[in-house]
Amino acid sequence: MKNLELDYTNEYQVRNYINTTVCDMISEDLKNYECEYEEALFEIIDSLSDVIYNYKAQKVAEAFGLSPFDNSEMTGERFTSYNEMAFETIYNTYNGNN
């Protein structure tokens, strides 16, 4: 998903964008999947530009207070990339909103 008007340096805007626009888009996309919920959710989130592109992934992670020295709640291991951090942030945010 591309949002040309989003200022990725504004943490409030990034959090709001993830909490509303991205979570709504994930809900809509999930309706089109016939595989298991978790598998579909992982596939959708993994394909988001906010996870794929390092700059966006870094800004998403920072907006939600994560640092490269934090450990993943999903694996218990230290994050190895901003992409992992953004994925987990969006995953947790989506599951927290639904």
* pTM, entire model: 0.89
Report if residue 6 sits inside a domain. Answer: no
Q: Could you list the residue range(s) of the whole structural domain that residue 47 is in?
A: 11-97
Q: What is the pLDDT of residues 5-38, one digit of tens each?
A: 889 999 999 999 999 999 999 999 999 988 899 9
CA distance 88 to 8: 18
| The predicted structure's pLDDT at residue 23 | 95
CA distance 50 to 27: 16
CA angle 88, 23, 68 (to 5 degrees): 25
Task: Count how many domains the chain has.
Answer: 1
| The predicted structure's pLDDT at residue 97 | 64
- Residue with tokens 């639904």, as numbered in its chain: 98
CA distance 13 to 26: 18
| The predicted structure's pLDDT at residue 35 | 83
Report if residue 4 sits inside a domain. Answer: no
Q: What is the pLDDT of residues 41-59, one digit of tens each?
A: 999 999 999 898 999 999 9
